[in-house]
Every structure is written in C-alpha cells, then in structure tokens.
Amino acid sequence: MKNNMLLLAAISMLAACSSQQSQPTVTQDEKIGKETTMIKKESFPSTERIDVVNTLHGVDIHDSYQWLEDVKNEKVQTWMNEQDTYTRAELSQLPEREMLKKRFAELYYVDSVRAPNKKGNRFFYSRRHADKEKAIYYWREGEEGAEKILLDPNTMSKDGSTSVGGVYPSRDGKKVAYTLRAKGGDESTMYLMDVSTGKVSDIDIIPGAKYAGPSWTPDSKGFYYTWLPVDPKISTSERPGFSEVRFHKLGTDPLKDEIIKEKIGDAKKFHGVDLSRDGRYLLYYVWHGWTATDVYYRDLKSKSKSFKPIVVGKKFQYSIESWKGNFYIYTNEGAPRFKIMKASAKKPTQENWKEIVSEFSDGSVIKNLQIVGGHVVLTLLSNVYSKLRVHDLQGKLVRDIKLPGIGATFGMTGQPDSDTAYFGFQSFTVPSRIFKTKISTGEADLWTKVEVPIQPEDFKVEQVWFTSKDGTKVPMFVITKKGIKKDGSTPFILSGYGGFNVSLYPYFRASIFPWLEAGGGYAIPNLRGGGEFGEEWHQAGMREKKQNVFDDFIAAAEYLIDNKYTQSSKLAIRGGSNGGLLVGAAMVQRPDLFKAVICAVPLLDMVRYHKFGSGMTWISEYGSADNEEEFKYIYAYSPYHHIVDENYPSLLMLSADNDDRVDPMHARKFVAAIQHHSKSGHPVLLRIEKNAGHGGADLIREYIQTDTDTYSFLFSELGLR
C-alpha cells in the first residue's frame, strides 16, 4: 500500500531536481561574467501593471500582476508568447550550445531496461532504446520468452505529446490496465488491453484516472480504483474532494461501476484502497497530507459492507502489507524513523499489534516495507545512502543485501510467494544497475546495467556537514571533477528541495556531467522538510517552520563560499516545484549571495497557491492564507510578496503550458515582478515548454533542448567554458 501513497505523493508534488579547459582566474571569470550577460533589462517585453488590493486578516496586499493568473485571457496569451519568443531568441545566441547539445545527446540516447514485474508466468517491463524518444513497454511469456511489445508511446501521437502514465497488469498477467496522459499533464484516462492479442477494449475506458492506482482481484476479473470526476463545473482546486473509490468489473460500463466509498468531501485529503493478495481483505486509507493516515478494513467474506477502523484519528503515518492472514504495519507512531508492527488480519486493531522491527538506534530511517519471497524486506536510508535488509516474518534479521557501494536503491521488484527478486542501484557517478537476487540465499548477480559515456573515476563525491542558522547540522553532497582547487574560482550549482518528506538520494544525474566535465561543481544539501532523517526532519521544515528550509539552503551556500569551493559571483541555485519555492525564497531573501537562478515549475505566490491547480492538497504541508495564524508565517516568506527594488541575480524561469499540478501563474507573476524591480540589469527570462506538464515533455529531444538552454545560460552567466 505504501507504493500507492508514493504514487499519490508523486502526482501531487514532484521534486524537479532535474530533474576541458583549465579554469581562468577569478578576475578573468568576473570579466567573462560581465561580458556574457547579454540581455539588458530595458529590452525585456513590457508588462502592464494593474494594481489590485486584496485584504486578508486586515492586511492590504497589493498585486500588480494578478491579471496574469487568467491563462484564458487573450492578453495573457500574448504576453506569454512575447516572453517565450524573447527568451528563446536570447538563449539561441549563447555560446557553448552546440557542444552541450551534442554531449546531452550522447548521455541521453542510451539503452536501458527496468526490472521486470512478474504476473502469472508473464514478465512486464519497460525498455529505453538509444534511437527512440520514449521508453517502450514489453512483455514475455516466461523469463526467457520472446520479447513482445505491449505499449509503444512513440507511435501514439504524431507530435509525441501522448504519454503512458502507469501500467498495471492483472494477477494472472492476461490483462493490463494502463493510463494515458495528453500533453504531459497529470489528467489521465484508463484503458484495458488483452495482453495476448493486444486488443484494447472499447468498453473498459475510464476517464478521471488521475489518482486511479488499480488494485486487481485474484481472479483478474476486476479491480478497485480511485476515480476523479471530470466535470468542468468543478474547479480544479476542489476536484480532489470529489474523488470516489470504485470497483470496475471487466467488460461492463464504467459509468455503472460500484461505488465503494463516496466522495471524500475534502480537497485536502486523498483516499484509496488496496486489496490483499488472497482477495479477502480490502484496506481503505485516508491520507491527511503527508503526516497522518487513517486505515480501515473490510473482510470480503463477511456479509457486512461497512469498513471497520484499524487506526483512526492519530497524527502518524501507517501503511499495511497483507500476507497469509497477517498484517505488517509500517508506521512512525512512537518512532519518527519508523518501525514495523504485526497483527492478525482477524484482529487488526491497534491493541493487538506486536512490534517486530524496532526503530533503528543508529539513526537509519526505514523508507519502505515489502513482503518478498516470504520475508520482510526493508529499504533503509542511513546517513543519506541506501541499505537493503531481509528479516523473517517474525522480524528477526536474516541478512543485509550487499550493495555495490554508497548510493541509492528504492526497494525490490518481486512477489511474496517468489524467491526471485530484482533491485536497482545507482550513485552520483554510477548509472543504474539492476541485480537479480534470491531472497533465500542473498545471492545477487548483475542482470543489466546502463552504459553511459562517462568516466566515473574522473569525479569526486564527498559528503560534508554545515551548520544552519539555528545551529542544526545539515549534510550536503558535493560533486566535482578531481583536481579542482578550493580557491573560490569554481562555478557551482547548488540544488535542493526540502519538503513533502522527499529524500534526495545519491542517484545518477546524467544532466550534470557536461557541467562537471567543464570544471564546474554541483552541490545537493539534504534540507529539513525532506525525509532523510525521518518524520521529525520533515516536520522541522513544514508549515510554520518552513523558513528553516530556506535558512538551511542559504547556510549551504555560505558554507561553499566560506570553504573556498566557490564565491557568490560563481554560484547558481536551481530547484523545481517545491524546490522552485526554495530558490525563489533564497533569491529574494539573499540576492547578494547568488549570480544566477534556475527556477522551474515553482510555487511562489504562497498567499494564493491553494486556489490553483492541485494547491488544496498541499495545505497540510504549507498551511493556508485563509487561516489568520497560518497567513502570518506564509506571508512572511512568500517570495512573490517580498520582491522590492533590488540588485537581483540573473533568472531563467522554466515553465510549462500544460502544468495542471502547479499553476504556471506563479512563474508568470514572479518573472513580471522581477523584470520590473530588478536594478542589476541581469537577464530575467521566462521559457515556456509547449505540450508539457509539471515534469516537462517526456521526449528525449525535448530534454536535450531544455538542458541545452539551461546549461548554456549557466555557462554564460557563471563564466564557464
């Protein structure tokens, strides 16, 4: 069930952590930086200022760009086209573009394959091909069977704007439910395919599948799912409150699907169900944002159709794996770094729980619980790197699965009744590898690996610790080319996130290598608000404590400067989504500290964020300006509302025309305000991706174009050659 929660979290807020010559002297770098700042403020497209005053809790809030919120307005469309056209014209003139474009193509057009998911005797997996824009989904009859195409999104639309959202095979592998998305958005429609024939049903078509996550019955004749209405009369921000849990029987009209749970009635909550593998127990979850869960259950052998509570009304997280008549509960109640409990499915209420794996005393966080091969498999995060651990069903440690080094893994792909499983591994300098293992022995053999044209031995990764404003110690990964001198002359990118319990693992980022190869550095601090050290770390960076995240990030920048990794004139910051809020706040609070900012699909007007896109679902994380007490701390840091006449750093804002998660109004209003108020003369650019959603257009050529624009901007602004 935890995987379903992760799916909902991903839908609601994704981290966008994208996500040679010798070094010139500091004096030369500063000169180059001035020479390559090609764009002058007076040349920006003009933006009309229309003063609107909103009064909240007795405070008058002036907003000169509120008119830019209405994307359907012809004036707004004209403004967007002018800004994007101007930006692309300026970016097209920057040096290093062709070299960067060529290098990104070498790094991105590679062959790779995901770990297979076994259903019945069939294996399902996706594969990227070096000559294709999108991954293709395949299946095999048996592990050694012939490879057959299941879904090829490369052929689904002429412009490549149709994407596969998720693929959900039935228990016997004979059917597959899958979702399709248009223009990179989150909105989805679910379809049903017969795997053997490839025929897609013209009956089993379910719109409103944004949160679907189907859970199949053991006989593969139907599935439970979460349905979201597509009624245009319901505002986008309120729609999550109208979601229902339904059951679909294959071959029947989805409009007549049985409603298992009526609309939840609160856009700040999610709900969904998970059916036990034996088909007996239906678990019903209500997620109160990212900090609390209610869990109910129904015994489908009982005549009663009502759900009984397992644990309700507590401000902790719970998820359950069911196996052979027992529930295995993953929770942070009384254990901020999580523990594992066990109970009989016949008596699952909390007084019957037994602790089988305690919270780890060494500071490790349990990130995931799985039942694989008749064992409890735990994925741990220890000092911000992964561990895999196998326990028996009573919680006794069986063994640690040896990983190739310090890096990241995200659990196993396997079944509770199968001894064979797969797990991935990667690090900052090691591309993804997949290993095949036997749970009973712990043996692990390399199954496949991604070949990327880099030389890992040329780079250095270190983990450092710095002190934040309030004295908190915060870790940070620093990646550079070996031999870089700590004399302040190295151009650096500082990237972070800090929210929603999201952990920034040491995983492979192909996009950073042209920068590293040219002599730049890359730093990733593990800020409060994330999940690297458990729920206490998360809660120390949310709601009224959100300023801690910005303080951590600013302290990370100061550490890099104080320790001669770089200097302010050579330092860029980068973040997306909640990370866009991070860099927007840092830019406004400490404009003197940075030379350039890359801000992608951000939240920036925190007073009005909940009125747009999926904003209502994030109130548990940020709070709401509608509440007077919460308004005080939100307004105190809201980046858009603290823009003044100031020497701001260079800004490249990355937006998308079909972002239905974080409304692009944030990007538009912030750019307009910075263009008006910035006194530095540095560039302030808005780049709008076409046919793209919150995660961007999912075509390799579009990734290359975006990264070419982004890094040519950074090369130019920071004086890197």
Q: What is the pLDDT of residues 402-434, one digit of tens each?
A: 999 999 999 999 999 999 999 999 999 999 999
**Two domains, one topology: 2-105+454-718 and 112-359:** no
Nearest to 696 by CA among 131, 107, 18, 86: 18
Strand partners, 380: 366, 387
Strand spans (E) along 183-234:
188-194, 206-207, 215-216, 222-227
Closest C-alpha among 308, 307, 325, 315 to residue 287? 315
Task: Provide the residue ranges of all domains of the chain, joining segments of one domain with +.
Answer: 2-105+454-718, 112-359
Residues making up the chain, counted from first to last: 721
pLDDT at 577: 98
Pairing of strands 375-382, 444-449: unpaired
Residue 353, number of CB atoms within 10 A of its CB:
19
Calpha distance 194→173 (Å, rounded): 9
Would you state the pLDDT for residue 41?
52
- Residues 39-74: b if buried by 16+ CB within 10 A, e if exposed: beeeebbebeeeeeeeeeeeeebebbbbbbbeeeee
649: nearest Cα among 554, 567, 717, 702: 717
Residue 530 has pLDDT above 60, yes or no: yes
Task: Return the CATH class of domain 112-359.
Answer: mainly beta
Q: How confident is the model at residue 696 (pLDDT cuts 50, 70, 90)?
A: confident
| Higher-pLDDT residue of 562, 1 | 562
* Average pLDDT over every residue of 37-61: 85
Banded model confidence at residue 3, pLDDT cuts 50, 70, 90 = very low
Instruction: Please provide residue 640's backbone torsions phi and psi, each rounded to the nearest 5 degrees.
Output: -60, -35
Neighbours of 92 (CB within 10 A): 11
Residue type, 465: W
Phi-psi category of residue 33: left, alpha or beta, with phi > 0 → left and psi -120 to 50 → alpha:
alpha
pLDDT tens by residue, 71-93: 999 999 999 999 999 999 999 99
The tokens for 638 are: 């809201």
Provide the β-strand partners of residue 373. none
Cα–Cα dist 235/352, whole Å: 43
**Amino acid present at 257:** D
pLDDT 10s digits, 90-143: 999 999 999 999 999 999 999 999 999 999 999 999 999 999 999 999 999 999
* pLDDT at residue 236 in the model: 87
pLDDT at 599 over 60: yes
Identify the active-site residue in 161, 364, 577, 620.
577
CA separation for the pair 289, 173 (Å, rounded)? 33
**What ranges in 280-378 are assigned the alpha helix state H?**
none
Q: CATH homologous superfamily of domain 2-105+454-718?
A: Alpha/Beta hydrolase fold, catalytic domain (3.40.50.1820)
Per-residue model confidence (pLDDT) at position 24: 29
Q: Using CA atoms, how far apart are residues 25 and 488, in angstroms rounded to an integer?
A: 10
pLDDT at 43: 82
Report H helices in 441-545. 513-517, 535-539
For residues 151-179, average pLDDT:
96
Residue 500: strand, helix, or coil: coil
pLDDT at residue 13 tops 70: no
Between CA 95 and CA 719 the distance in angstroms is 11
The average pLDDT across 569-576 equals 98
Please say if the pLDDT value at position 150 is more than 90. yes
**pLDDT at residue number 12:** 43
Region at 548 (left for phi over 0; alpha for psi -120 to 50; beta for the rest): alpha
Q: What's the rounded Cα separation, in Å, for the pair 32 and 681?
A: 16
Q: Is residue 682 annotated as a catalytic residue, yes or no?
A: no
115, 117, 122, 127 alpha-carbon torsion, rounded to 10°: -40
Span 11-20, average pLDDT: 37
The pLDDT tens digits of the residues spanning 378-410 come to 999 999 999 999 999 999 999 999 999 999 999
Which residues lie across from 48 on neighbouring strands?
none
Interior CA angle at 79 toward 85 and 636, to 5°? 110
- Tell me whether residue 538 is one of the annotated catalytic residues: no
Residue 16: predicted pLDDT = 36
Give the separation between CA 526 and CA 477, rounded to whole angstroms: 8
> Containing H/E element for 369?
strand 365-372
Q: Which residues contact 559 (CB under 8 A, 6 or more apart)?
A: 464, 466, 476
* 28 has pLDDT over 60: no
Tell me, yes or no, if the pTM score tops 0.85. yes
The pLDDT of residue 252 is above 80: yes
What rounded mean pLDDT belongs to the chain? 93
Integer Cα distance of 136 and 78 in angstroms: 37
Confidence of residue 20 (pLDDT cuts 50, 70, 90): very low
pLDDT interval class at 501 (50, 70, 90):
very high
Q: Which of 248, 375, 641, 694 is catalytic?
A: 694
